[in-house]
Amino acid sequence: MSSAEKYIPRYTVDDYQHWEGDWQLVEGIAISMNPSPFGPHERAVSRISLCIGNAIEEADFECESYAGLDWIVSDETVVRPDVMVVCGEQPERHLENPQSSLWKCFLHLPESWTSVRSGGFTKTKVFWFI
């Protein structure tokens, strides 16, 4: 660990739940979700969510699609996928169980997310990047 890493503050879900504004927490590191997404991103998320919702209804699956629901992965990681499908028991607050699919829309995937691109969140059955 470099000396710079020693000074990066580490947070937990308990800390996260008291913050104002839009944040994600990845392995204890706070990540601001500002500014909000731009038009092309939101159009893609809207279309994906609509298509998935329609497919779920047509197939009569016991699943729901969510856009923008927090997923508590661990005590130090909370992410907010653009779209996710949850089958079985539905969350009342944040999702805390593994689910069927997460969808995150990137116009350009950050290079530092290589591990996520290859399946960094191992509790997830399917993780799609568009």
Mean pLDDT of 32-47: 86
Q: What is the pLDDT of residues 73-126, one digit of tens each?
A: 889 989 888 888 888 888 888 888 765 555 565 544 445 444 444 344 444 444
pTM assigned to the model: 0.70
CA 84/CA 71 separation, integer angstroms: 9
Q: What domains are defined for the chain?
A: 36-129 (3.90.1570.10)
Nearest to 96 by CA among 115, 77, 83: 77
In DSSP terms, 30 is beta-bridged to: 25
